Chain A
Amino acid sequence: MNTTPTVTAAIVQAAYVLVAFLFITGLKRMSSPATARGGILWAGLGMVIATLVTYLQAPEIGINLYLVIGATVLGGGVAWISGKRVAMTDMPQMIALYNGMGGGAAAAIAAVELYRGDQRGLAFGALAVLGALIGAVSLSGSCIAFGKLQGLIKKSFRFSGQQIANVLILAVAVVLGVLIATGVNTGSSVVTGFFVLALLLGVTMTLPIGGADMPVVISLYNALTGLAVAFEGYVLNNWAMVIAGMVVGSAGTLLTQLMAKAMNRSLGNVLFSGFGDTAGAATGPVTGTQKPIEAADAGVMMAYAQKMIVVPGYGMAVGQAQHKVWELTQLLQNRGVTVKFAIHPVAGRMPGHMNVLLAEAGVPYDLIADLEEINAEFETADVALIIGANDVVNPVARNDKSSPIYGMPILDADKAKNVIVIKRGQGQGFSGIENALFYLDNTRMLYGDAQGAVNQLVQAVKAAG
């Protein structure tokens, strides 16, 4: 603040170059398990530098500076506390919320510029408006996504003509946006109307989408927020925002596609079909009976196995059984049993979520294999232990064309010599589809809650001597 303007500008620009470098390197490191921890530290350092040099651009000490400091402390403080407290199982919706905040911030930047009403050319206006639209949709859409995953919004509001309504809202918002961007009418009532419609669009777009598809939507909004930030970066002549926002925009788009692919869904399907929570009408006839087993017998079977593959599902995490599962794994490893974890892409609430939950319990990531890596190994496994997973091991997906999950890639747990399924009772899974695996000759059902049942297995293995 005491230096001359040109020197200050040069320092800020140089710092932003460094920040862009730190962000890209950080993201690169975050894409490999061995270096991921360092990656977030690099990116975090970049953020601190970017924030500090921005204070060099502060005007005279006054109300604006106080508001910046106050708002940073308030927003950052609330996020810090909530981020430290959130349970690992609730992580997806928390990410959605933080992402929505970023979108809202991008929209707020645009609002400050647009309400001011000074025109600096078509590119300026167009990108300010586009960033505002995307940012506002991301804000309200992410809030709905949070509400759905948190269980605050239980229904999926659908009515006929919903798509048409969405298109109409978008069309009117675009018309208003064009008026503002071209400088034809930059009145504050037009700007207000534009923002109201943009926020409304985020709500109406997201409400019909089912909970199971929500991770893909959150990832999409994450990419969109990146774009909005990049566009507002152009408006503010801020290269760090342009580069970081654009990198996230494209990386997020790719990540969204990877997630949709892992869930066997196309992006268009997710956004416009509303499957996410409707399946379950068609349940093909499944013959046979479920055969129960006692924990003591199952424990002995595991203790004398060569190789066991554990298939954890969201039910394991909800039952907080992952720590007991790791204890069981270590006991078996000490007896010379090879234990691996097979993770389906949609185990947990989003791709990779189950890995986080297992990591929390202390399971090393090199024991964990994804579907492509492990599917061929089930044939060589003596025991497949299914905990709280259902649809992702249902062989119906392979061979029953009438099933709603037909074609979904599944873990071939049924090919193991013995299958032990830990399950509360004889009910159906999340999607309401009968699971043929439970009726196979080599399957035994261990009834009970996940934590209690695994604890009994631990005792049984210990008793096996």
Chain B
Amino acid sequence: MNGVIAIYIFMLAGFTGYEVISRVPVILHTPLMSGSNFVHGIVLVGAMVALFSAHGPLELVIGTIGVALAAGNAVGGYVVTERMLEMFKSSGKAPNKGHHS
């Protein structure tokens, strides 16, 4: 991986995260934290790759623990976020509340 390009990607992805979240209303703080917690569950693919290439008992054990933890992060993060968000509904009387200032 080219080092300079990697720095650009780190930087641009950082700005993206900031912009995407910057106008979130307080009512969504908890689900959104949970949702972003789910997104870093992508660590699962890394843990899988690490375990695919593991040799010897030590690497296999650590790799297996890594995959199990990562799967827990991804699945658990999804389930609780989905459970919280499916409860949010509008009364239908007022228009969608865009957010304050």
- The answer to whether A352 and B62 have CB atoms under 8 Å apart is no
CB A194 to nearest CB in B, in angstroms, measures: 14
A245 at the interface (CB under 8 A from B): yes
Cβ contacts under 8 Å, B76 to chain A:
79-80, 82-83, 94, 97-98, 101
Question: Which of A75, A240, A365 has the most chain B CB atoms closer than 10 A to its own CB?
Answer: A75
Nearest Cβ distance between residue B28 and chain A, in whole angstroms?
6
Query: Is the CB of A116 closer than 8 A to any CB of chain B?
Result: yes
Report the contact-size class of chain A (Cβ under 8 Å from the partner).
Answer: 35 or more
Contacting pair B20 A251 (CB below 8 A): yes
B84 and A105 form a contact (CB under 8 A):
no
The answer to whether B1 touches A234, judged by C-beta atoms less than 8 angstroms apart, is: yes
Q: Are A71 and B67 CB-contacts (below 8 A) given A243-B13, A246-B13, A254-B17?
A: yes
In the complex, the chain A residue whose C-beta lies closest to that of B65 is A108
User: CB distance A356 to B58 under 8 Å?
Assistant: no
Asked whether A449 is an interface residue with its Cβ less than 8 Å from the other chain, the reply is: no
Min Cβ gap B63→A in Å is 5
Residues of chain A contacted by B73 (CB below 8 angstroms) = 79, 98-99, 101-102, 105
* CB <8 Å contact, B39 and A101: no
A63 within 8 A of B: yes
Query: Once the chains are docked, how many angstroms separate the CA of A251 from the CA of B38?
Result: 13
Q: Are B85 and A250 in contact (CB under 8 A)?
A: no
Q: Is the interface of A mostly helix, strand, loop or mixed?
A: helix
A73 partner residues in chain B, CB cutoff 8 A:
71
**Closest beta carbon of chain B to A445's beta carbon, Å:** 29
Per-position 1/0 for B40-65, Cβ under 8 A of A: 11111111111111110011101111
Do A30 and B59 have beta carbons less than 8 Å apart?
A: no
Tell me whether A372 and B101 are in contact in the complex, defined as CB-CB below 8 angstroms, given that A83-B75, A112-B50 are known contacts. Answer: yes
Decide: A238 and B101 in contact? CB cutoff 8 A.
Answer: no
Q: Whose C-beta in chain A lies nearest to the C-beta of B79?
A: A83
Q: Report yes or no: B60 in contact with A64, Cβ–Cβ below 8 A.
A: yes
Task: Find the residue from B14, B29, B63 having the highest chain A CB count within 10 A.
Answer: B29
> Secondary structure of the B side of the interface?
helix
Q: Are B29 and A351 in contact (CB under 8 A)?
A: yes
Q: Of A44, A75, A226, A368, which contacts B72 at CB under 8 A?
A: A75
**With the chains together, A84 CA to B29 CA distance in Å?**
20
Q: Which 10 A-B pairs have the closest CB atoms?
A: A108-B66, A83-B79, A79-B76, A364-B91, A75-B71, A352-B29, A75-B68, A250-B17, A246-B13, A105-B70
Which B residues have a C-beta under 8 Å from some C-beta of A? 1, 3, 6, 9-10, 13-18, 20-55, 58-60, 62-94, 96-101
28 pairs of residues in contact across A and B, judged by CB atoms under 8 Å: A27-B36, A33-B88, A36-B85, A47-B38, A51-B74, A59-B52, A71-B71, A75-B69, A84-B79, A112-B62, A222-B37, A229-B40, A230-B10, A236-B46, A236-B50, A243-B9, A244-B40, A246-B10, A251-B21, A253-B18, A255-B21, A352-B29, A352-B30, A359-B88, A359-B89, A364-B90, A364-B91, A366-B90
Extra pairs beyond A83-B79, A244-B39 (19, CB < 8 Å): A33-B25, A43-B35, A55-B48, A64-B60, A67-B67, A68-B52, A79-B74, A80-B76, A83-B80, A91-B84, A95-B80, A102-B40, A238-B49, A246-B13, A250-B16, A252-B33, A345-B26, A351-B30, A367-B91
Binding site for B on A (CB under 8 A): 19, 23-24, 26-28, 30-34, 36-37, 39-41, 43-44, 47, 50-51, 54-55, 57-59, 63-65, 67-68, 70-80, 82-84, 86, 88, 91-92, 94-95, 97-99, 101-102, 104-109, 111-113, 115-116, 123, 139, 188, 218-219, 222, 225-226, 229-230, 232-234, 236-255, 258-259, 262, 343, 345, 348, 350-353, 355-356, 359-360, 364-368, 370, 372-373
